[in-house]
Structure 1
Amino acid sequence: MSGLNASLGYFLAVVIFAASVRTLLKKWPRFGFILEFASSFMLVACWLEVQTIVEVGEWAGGLGPDVTLTILFVVLLTHGVICGVTGNPNVILLKFLQLEATTLPTLLSVAAQFLGAHVALLVAGYYWSLELTDMHMIKNLMARECSTSLLVSLLQGFFTECVCALIFHLIHLNLQRRHALIRVPLMAVLLTFLSHTARGYTSAFINPSLAYGLTFHCSGFTFTEYALVYWLGSLAGMILALLLHMGHIPRIFSKNLLYFQKTRFRVPKGDKGEKKKM
């Protein structure tokens, strides 16, 4: 339990930092990219600790998969309540493709998200180096030789991330106008389910900055190979989801390729008969 208590304190510190930044800067839309930094930092920093509990706690601390899944769900739910779906470069690019964001804010937001992921990696490394518990002492020894989350071939990994991103973004697009009380818990459940289901493949991060913080620094694959799976794979799934949802990609072309648009207004049959009598 001492390991979980230390982890709880770490989670609270990260959440308070992210929530404070978002509260202070929420009134200034010009600094929206800093909000993305805080969101990405919170998600990556917390998920790194969840990953530690999964890798070390399950065999060294006697924690079962039900505990780790519950912790992951609570982390995702908390992130959803505080930050929504921010902290994900694919969501920012989705808004750009939907003509809801311009080029410069999009680039700044994506850069801030990757910076937040990198800072989270540094902060987590420092936290592990304190060796507050046996679990963190073991993690600190393993930090230089971390195990990769990509456990299959590049083709299988690309397909896994693409399919998971397709499912995630399709549901996200259909729920984006729903009330937060419905949307946030459903998205947290979905992400937890996808991550657990794809644990033996890619872990289904569906987030380029999250994948960068969690597995790009691990040995086993090159940076380019990781980017092919976790960046291009999830990007392809996002584009397919947008195409299936809208029938076209507004930023690229306006013609609907999949669905026929019906006119909303129809002329009543009675009006046509009166015109003929006239």
Structure 2
Amino acid sequence: MAGLNVSITFFSLVVALCQALRWLSKWLLSPGAYSCLARELAGSLQLCMSCLELRMLVEIGLWGGGFGPDVVLTLLFLLFAVHGISFDGASANPTISVQEFLLLESNLATAVAKLLAEGVGTGLGWALTKLYWSWELTQLHFIQNLISSECSSSIHTSLHHAAFVEGACSFFFHLVLLKLQQSHPVYRVPTLAATVTFLTYTAGPFTGAFFNPALATAATFHCSGNSFWDYVQVYWLGPLAGMLAALLLYQGNIPRLFQRNLLYSQKSKYRIPRARVTLQVEGDKPQQRKKGEKNTTKPHA
């Protein structure tokens, strides 16, 4: 269990480092630069380093560390709960940034800046984690260094099925995210963490269950077994299609592309009052008929 204790210490240090980076960036940068650059970079760095270490525990810990999947799933839930609390509103996921753009919550420049920050954050996280593994603090890291240069693909099923799995994971994740976007963090954070844990447990054996294009790029694109285009179809196009399907199902439309609701008819919430019946009297002046008054006008000859 010594290796597990080292990994838990690593998780704690990563969260503390990225939190310090967020505090420093908020102090030095303008609110706009912080929200679309520094915050996303820190969140992606934290997510990438944590998930790479956790993935190492999944692949090696079962036979090299003597602990089962229940330990890893518990760590996964706790990590995503901590991420939800500490991210300060960052998505650290390109599909969420694209979703915000399609919902008119950000403009094109902001969306592109977030995507670039997420790419830089995940790339930096991959490099720092590889450096940390090279120190070989535990036997698990020693084994990881031996096999890292010859890693195999995370796709353990047919290409079409793998793309469907990643798309389905992204669909359910974004559907829950859209449903809980206005909820209090006390409910939103553990629900999202539980959703990620369930999807990882269900879909992990097939594709690794990334449903995050930036994270998948850092974790598996360099591994042999599939071509670059295969990885793009599964880990980029699959999650993007799942996000679009969730957005269309939840909204009924995609605001950035079209305003018309394709799925749901929108009824007006305002009632139109009925017009009162009026009588036409001499001088063509309208006169309101009183309640209970009979019509005494006679037809003209």
Shorter-normalised TM-score: what interval? over 0.9
- The structure number with the bigger radius of gyration is 2
2:9 maps to 1:9: yes
* 1:213 pairs with one of 218, 222, 231: 218
The TM-score with structure 2 as length reference comes to 0.88
Higher relative contact order, chain-length normalized (CA < 8 Å, sep 6+): 1
Per-residue Cα deviation, 1:185-236 (whole angstroms, up to 9, x for no partner)? 0000000110110012112211111111111111111122101111100000
**CA separation of 1:39/1:275 partners in 2, compared to 1, >3 Å: closer, same or farther?**
farther
- CA distance in 2: counterparts of 1:203 and 1:196, whole angstroms: 9
* 1:180 pairs with one of 162, 182, 185: 185
Matches within 5 A, 1:123-138: 123-138=128-143
Per-residue Cα deviation, 1:97-153 (whole angstroms, up to 9, x for no partner)? 011101111111101101111111111111111011111101111111123221112
User: Is the contact made by 1:85 and 1:91 (CA closer than 8 Å) also made in structure 2?
Assistant: no
2:198 maps to 1:193: yes
Q: Residue 256 of structure 2 corresponds to which residue in structure 1?
A: 251
The TM-score with structure 1 as length reference comes to 0.95
User: Is the contact made by 1:165 and 1:234 (CA closer than 8 Å) also made in structure 2?
Assistant: yes
Q: Residue 50 of structure 1 corresponds to which residue in structure 2?
A: 54
Amino acid at match of 2:259: S
- Number of corresponding residues: 275
Structure 2 runs not aligned, ≥5 long: 280-287, 289-301
* 2:78 pairs with one of 53, 74, 81: 74
Cα drift, residue 275 of structure 1: 4.1
Structure 1 runs not aligned, ≥5 long: none
Cα drift, residue 276 of structure 1: 5.1
User: Is the contact made by 1:34 and 1:109 (CA closer than 8 Å) also made in structure 2?
Assistant: no
Cα drift, residue 74 of structure 1: 1.2
Matches within 5 A, 1:36-185: 36-83=40-87, 84=89, 86-185=91-190
Per-residue Cα deviation, 1:160-199 (whole angstroms, up to 9, x for no partner)? 1111111111111011000000001000000011011001
Does 92-101 or 5-14 show the bigger shift?
5-14
- CA distance in 2: counterparts of 1:146 and 1:46, whole angstroms: 19
Amino acid at match of 1:19: Q
Greater share of helix: 1
Over the aligned positions, Cα root-mean-square deviation in angstroms equals 1.4
Q: Residue 285 of structure 2 corresponds to which residue in structure 1?
A: none
Cα drift, residue 255 of structure 1: 0.8
- CA distance in 2: counterparts of 1:106 and 1:182, whole angstroms: 27
**CA separation of 1:251/1:56 partners in 2, compared to 1, >3 Å: closer, same or farther?**
same
